[in-house]
Amino acid sequence: MRVFPISIGIATSALFLIACGQEAATPPTSTSVPTEIPTATQAPTEAVATATPRPTEAIPTPTTKSEPPPTEPPAVELAPERDLDIVTLLPPDAIPAIDNPIFFETTEKADAVYGDGEYVLGVEIDGDARAYSVPLLSSHEIVNDTVGGRPIAVTW
């Protein structure tokens, strides 16, 4: 099933475009030079506190124009509505988990069983790496394993 890798690719591309599409903020530059340098002989002036008026912004009001219902019949005949039943084929917990997974000793043996396009979920903890076949996980859904000395559950 290729939906999972395609959706990851679309999500990654969207994230990349959003991150790279923003303009870089330019720091404000100041070129004004102070015109008067205060000295010890000048008396400080008192600043009078005044309220700074806030700019009033026009609040946009949404325009809701409801279109009248169509008067012409649809170009394509609509399918009749119907209730659908949800069929449950298996009782709860009917799919057995893999509690003691067995791995191939060499990559040559794994290559003989799995093709180049085989999807796997990879886990690496403290230098201990494992690959779990997605088609195998589709039929078992959970693998309980110990990787790098830590117990883990791989789910699909």
- 35 domain-assigned: no
Domain limits at 128? 93-156
Q: Is residue 152 part of a domain?
A: yes
Number of other residues whose CB lies within 10 A of the CB of residue 101: 14
| Amino acid at residue number 151 | P
In the chain, the number of structural domains is 1
Instruction: Tell me if 155 is assigned to some domain.
Output: yes
22 pLDDT more than 60 = no
67-125: per-residue pLDDT in tens?
A: 888 888 888 888 888 888 888 888 877 888 899 999 988 889 988 988 888 899 999 99
Q: Over the range 48-65, which residues count as b (16 or more CB within 10 Å of their CB) and which as e?
A: eeeeeeeeeeeeeeeeee
Q: Please give the helix or strand (H or E) that residue 138 lies within, else none.
A: helix 134-140
The answer, as to whether pTM is greater than 0.75, is no
Residue 122 host element (H or E): strand 120-125
